[in-house]
Amino acid sequence: MFHSSSRASSPGFFVARCFGRYRIPASWSILRAGHHAEARDMCHSKSRALRRSEVRRGQAGFTLLELMIVVAIIAILAGVAYPRYGDAVGEARVADGRSALMTLAGRLERCRTSTHSYDDCIDSPTPSEAGYYRVTASLAPTDYRLTATHDGEAVKTACRVLTLDATGRTLPEACW
């Protein structure tokens, strides 16, 4: 690569021969006379770096096998996560029904302390806070039974109808 001719004795020759089409900044110290060894060393290291970057340019992107592995991992994770997500949504909706029953029971108890009867406390069915359950009340002067009925999907079959009475008994027990 390097010749011992008189042309090869100037550092500019080494730089031009080594770097070819690349622009060399004037601030490089190897362009000054007496730095032939530095120019030669820089030429070797630069050509090795160029060869490495050219190899990398040909390897851009992912292989089909790598992409298929990623897709398979995502499919497995989605297969595990989706049923658990459905269960969590169902539990949140049942919690909405329980909350609606407990809120209405609290209102009934406050009303009874002032009127001494449950009869005149509530006159119409009310929806739950999130709207997944419709709450109805069966009232007597000294007793009540609240029923929350779920109209849609995504709730366990056993938890579609929730009840709470004046004694604090709840049905079905698996949903409380």
Residue ranges per structural domain of the chain = 7-57, 80-175
pLDDT tens sequence across 48-84: 665 555 555 666 788 999 999 999 999 999 999 998 9
Among 154, 150, 157, 149, smallest CA distance to 174 is for: 157
Among 51, 13, 47, smallest CA distance to 30 is for: 13
The tokens describing 155, both together, are: 């709730």
> 161-165 and 133-139 as β-strands: parallel, antiparallel, unpaired?
unpaired
Q: What is the pTM of this model?
A: 0.58
Percentages helix, strand, coil for the chain, rounded to the nearest 5? 55, 15, 35
pLDDT tens sequence across 2-37: 444 545 455 454 455 555 555 555 555 555 555 556
**CATH top class, domain 80-175:** alpha beta
